[in-house]
Structure 1
Amino acid sequence: MKSIPRQLINHHIHPCTLIFITDPYGREECDCCGKHIVPGMKFSCGACEFGLHVKCALFPTIDSEDAREIQHFCHPHTLALVQNDEEYGSEPRCVACAQICLAPAPTFRCSRSCDLFFLHKSCNVKLPYSSVNFKHPFHSKHPLTIKYLPYNDHIRTCDACFRGIDLTLLAYSCRKSECKFNLHLDCYKLLPSITFIGHQHLLTLFEKTADVTCHLCCVNCHNFILRCVLCDINIHFQCHPSALETIKHKSHLHPLTLTKSPFEFELNSDEEEEEFYCDVCEQKRNQKELIYYCAECKFIAEVKCVFSTVSSLFSEDNSFEKEISKDDVTEVCLEIQKWQVENLLLKRIRLHEGLQVLETKTKQLEEESNGVKKEMRRTEGMLGNLVGGSSIRLIKLVENNSQLRDLFNNPRIKV
């Protein structure tokens, strides 16, 4: 049997020395897996109020060179290294990246009967070592945890991009069960960084979302959206005052201009119908999306293919604000304020309606309670009259009825 060391130095989860202690009364959570530590044994750092299950502290990690079996916080069973192609089954997907797991990429799978749980070794290196207490500006009021819910019938939706979250994949979720806030692993990496005049929060640039309506032009959009997750404000990339109409990109000699598509020469082409291509990635593109275009060369670049250039220009100094007229700024501020006022008023109406329902129910319960109390006083008076106020006589009358006799021994019932 493997002996338990008295202390762990330079543990991969916690930098301080962890001391092995026995604690028969402890009920705190393990800072690795998030589950309650069974009273008895744990590794602890008192200064940091940090504690680990013995199993979580001593099990090999997925980045150990010789690990053939590991314990990971995102799954209740141990994970075993896939030894041959037959163990992969029918095109299993990694729970972190959603890509198909194929040899020779090192992959761990559930050592028991969970056929859906596969995890690339390379993907796990990018995951944190623990599952609990993550904070994110998209949801600052509660901590988040990483969850895997393959048997949950509830359809999870990412609250940042509004797209669905596959129930066989890992995702960040609010630790408050009543909150139901979720984030894709990829959306967790995004951070607000773009200023929008008239709005108190920074906006985040999303490459893809579910269909939303642009707050400024009222047109549906789903690609390259500037979004405030906290306030649910969505703006077309091209509607933002700082969206540059012309950029320089390494993929082309000439400047590229933000332009609507498709073009007439594309529609009149002899090529196969509805095949529109990006000249940067040479892949098919959506004909209805804006593109960056060189009219001289008929060079077309999707926004996503020049994304790094565009996003870096967004984060540069705010010199573009000098080119925006005072009237434009005032109009944008008024639009934002109008939208916020409308939403707050609608919320207030819903809260008022809910309060009225609760007040009505409370009044009904009070009336029922008063009626019950009145009837109890009446029966108490009738009993007193029948037995002449003598409790001994009352007990004697019902001594042969076990159910009534038990009432006298029940401290919660006054007879």
Structure 2
Amino acid sequence: MISEKRCEGCHRYLFGPTYGCNPCGYFIHKSCLDEHKAVVQSFFHPCPLTISAGIFTGYCFVCFQWISSDYFYKCKLSCRFQAHMKCALKPMVEYSDEEYTIQHFTHLHPLKLVDSYQKDEVICSICEELCSSSSSTYGCMECKFFLHKSCMKSIPRQLINHRIHPCTLIFITYPFWYECDCCGERIFSHMSFSCGACDLNLHVKCALFPTIDSEDAKEIQHFSHPQTLALVQNDEEYGSEPRCVACAQICLAPAPTFRCSRSRDHFFLHKSCYVKLPYKSYKLKHPSHPDHPLTIKSLPYNDHIRTCDACFRGIDSTLLAYSCQKSECKFNLHLDCYKLLPSITFSGHQHLLTLIEKTADVTCHLCGVNCHNFVLRCVPCDINIHFQCHPSAPETIKHKSHLHPLTLTNSPFEFELNSDEEEEEFYCDVCEQKRNQRELIYYCTECKFIAEIKCVFSEVLLLLFEDNSFEKKTPKDDVTEVNLEIKKLQVENLLLKHIRSHERLQVLETKMKQLEEESNVEKKEIMRTEGMLGNLVGGSSKWLIKLVENNSQLRGLFNSAKNQGLRIG
């Protein structure tokens, strides 16, 4: 009796020795499996490739043609590489000086030495520089693909511990166009260094650009800026006190400094700050914004004023910041504020509170008074509490700077306000530096000894962490009342967010109607161009394919249009 099930390899009815998985309904003849190796190593991809069988639609990453066979190979690891059986198993041709031919892993066809008269305006696909007559150049005239001999020999198959990305980056050729995650420009050469797990793609030029690790690097690429950065020479003019985008300090010689090679007035980065900045990562989570990852970026110029969601102070457009890439969030953090982590509990609240030393004007949700310094803040819930309003804030401390206990109190004092001296300055008796007379302090009444909170804060934190569960010293009814107030505040915040979101939705719906009208115009234009293409080739897509197959630029345009749904006939 002939089985009704078919082999996934040859699509014929099952007969003879067969492998299969009953739960999945996957079956394949033993002869079909024995015909090909299950795992192979290809000349064109450094990772092992595993065989796949069955109906599949997609492009070969070697020849860029459609895969229509029953079998193909794909990367066994996280890369998106896939190829025809014959392309994956294409044998490597050894380097041959006699024949002036090289088989290189960057291209399907053998590359031949290019005559000097053919080098006019020929660009190397690796370094993207002109192939001058003084350098040896190899190329494929059919595909208009050219490489310097030096670039061909120096390009690696993979990059480990790269400064731009911590994962191993694999060289890969794509049949599609992607945007470089470093410079933001399209990768027209179809070659990139890629991390499949993180969905990251880099221009070969960006990936191989010198980093700060190269002592003699005069130009580098950094993930925080789309353009390359050039080393500022000691004898160059800096301009009007440029500041480093990371530390905000003035860049002065002889401190090594890099600046944007295109926009010399804005982006400056100390060499020392470059080393301290972390790797770019698409999974950089922060407890202040748990829903989405944050990335370091240089904010656009001439844009709306941004504020830090932790301290509410403005973020200078010339500085780097941690930002959420989701347009609806508009969440940003100063580099310093990113380092502040939630660590203080507040009974009845689901999140830890973050201690922020200085903020712009915010209101304490417990006492209703503005707070500028030492605010305990829940960033996700937008709730602020005066340090002194926190039930566990120690009212009295002992500090090595003074013999007597110090008591938490508000400043200024009456004797300070009644001073006859004009513009009298007020000092902290611990650091002996000027202080803001309206800041919270610890004070000895007997000696009139004044200590700023920041000068005794190590002792304050010790006491705060020893007993940050204020139910121990606060009556249960009071705790319930505080919890109820906090919940009311959260309800108020959520209702406000709901109203604002609804208002923004109405604006977006109006824009969507406008976009729908524009979309209909473009759809009509697409149908018109498809009709004109169909008329040119007599309604046959085969003729169109034949017209573009010998021209790499037309073939690339055709493949892109096809991926976007081009229909002929």
Fold in common (TM above 0.5) = yes
Q: Using the alignment, how far apart are the partners of 1:29 and 1:273 within structure 2? A: 57
- Structure 2, unmatched stretches of 5+, are 1-149, 511-569
Residues 1:303 and 2:453 aligned together: yes
Deviation at 1:267, TM superposition (A): 3.7
Which residue in 1 is equivalent to 2:292?
A: 142
Mean Cα displacement is larger for which, 87-96 or 125-134? 125-134
Cα pair distance change 1:344/1:101, threshold 3 Å? closer
Shift of 1:235: 0.6
- Supply the AA of the counterpart residue of 1:4: I
Aligned to 1:215: 365
Which of 315, 323, 330 in structure 1 is aligned with 2:473?
323
Q: Is residue 117 of structure 1 aligned with residue 267 of structure 2?
A: yes
CA distance in 2, matches of 1:81, 1:353: 48
Q: How many residues align?
A: 361
Q: C-alpha distance in 2, partners of 1:136/1:200? A: 16
TM-score normalized by the length of structure 2: 0.57
CA contact (8 A) 2:234 2:254 kept: no
**Alpha-carbon offset, residue 349 of structure 1:** 6.1
Establish whether residue 74 from structure 1 lines up as the match of residue 224 from structure 2: yes
- Cα distance in 2 for partners of 1:278, 1:49 equals 53
Distance 2:436 2:452 in 1: 9
Task: Using structure 1 for the length normalisation, give the TM-score.
Answer: 0.77
Name 2:241's counterpart in structure 1. 91
Higher relative contact order (CA 8 A, sep 6+): 1
Separation in 2, partners of 1:211, 1:204? 17
Q: Output the amino acid matched with 1:301.
A: A
> How does 1:268-279 map onto structure 2 within 5 Å?
268-269=418-419, 272-279=422-429
Higher mean Cα deviation, 296-305 or 283-292? 296-305
Identity of aligned residues (%): 84
Gaps of 5+ in 1: 362-415
Judge conservation of contact 1:132–1:146 (CA < 8 Å) in 2: no
SS in structure 2 of the partner of residue 341 of structure 1: helix
Secondary structure of 1:331's match? helix
Alpha-carbon distance change, 178 to 356 in structure 1, aligned in 2, over 3 angstroms: closer
Q: One-letter code of the match for 1:334?
A: L
Give the alignment partner of residue 293 of structure 1, picking from 431, 443, 448: 443
Please, which moves more after superposition, 150-159 or 345-354?
345-354
2:356: which partner in 1? 206
Cα separation, 1, equivalents of 2:323 and 2:172: 32
Alpha-carbon displacement from aligned partner over 1:232-283 (angstroms, at most 9, x marks no partner): 1111000000111122334334432211222244345565534111122322
CA distance, structure 2, for counterparts of residue 114 and residue 208 of structure 1: 32
Q: Residues of 1 paired with 2:187 and 2:371: CA distance?
A: 47
Pairwise CA distance, 1:346? 5.0
* 1:6 equivalent in structure 2: 157
Alignment match, 2:103: none
Residue matched to 2:121: none
Q: After TM superposition, give the deviation of residue 344 of structure 1 in Å.
A: 4.0
CA distance in 2, matches of 1:8, 1:210: 44
- Whether 1:164 and 2:297 are equivalent positions in the alignment is no
- Please identify which structure carries the higher helix content: 1
Classify the secondary structure of the residue corresponding to 1:314.
Answer: helix
1:20 aligned residue: 171
Cα displacement (A) at 1:102: 1.3
Whole-Å Cα distance in 2 between the matches of residues 173 and 353 of structure 1? 24
Offset of residue 175 of structure 1? 0.7
Match of 2:47 in 1: none
Q: Per-residue CA shift, 1:66-115, capped at 9, x if unaligned?
A: 32221112223221222215432221111112111112322111223431
Residue 276 of structure 2 corresponds to residue 126 of structure 1: yes
Selected match of 2:335 from 175, 185, 191: 185
| Counterpart Cα distance in 2 of 1:44 and 1:356 | 40
* Further displaced range: 2-11 or 165-174: 2-11
Two-structure CA RMSD over aligned residues (Å): 3.1
Q: Tell me by how many angstroms 1:194 deviates.
A: 1.0
Give the distance between the partners of 2:203 and 2:403, measured in 1 at CA: 59
Residue 42 of structure 1: aligned partner: 192
Distance 1:319 1:178 in 2: 36
Quick check: 1:242–1:321 contact (8 Å CA) kept in 2?
no
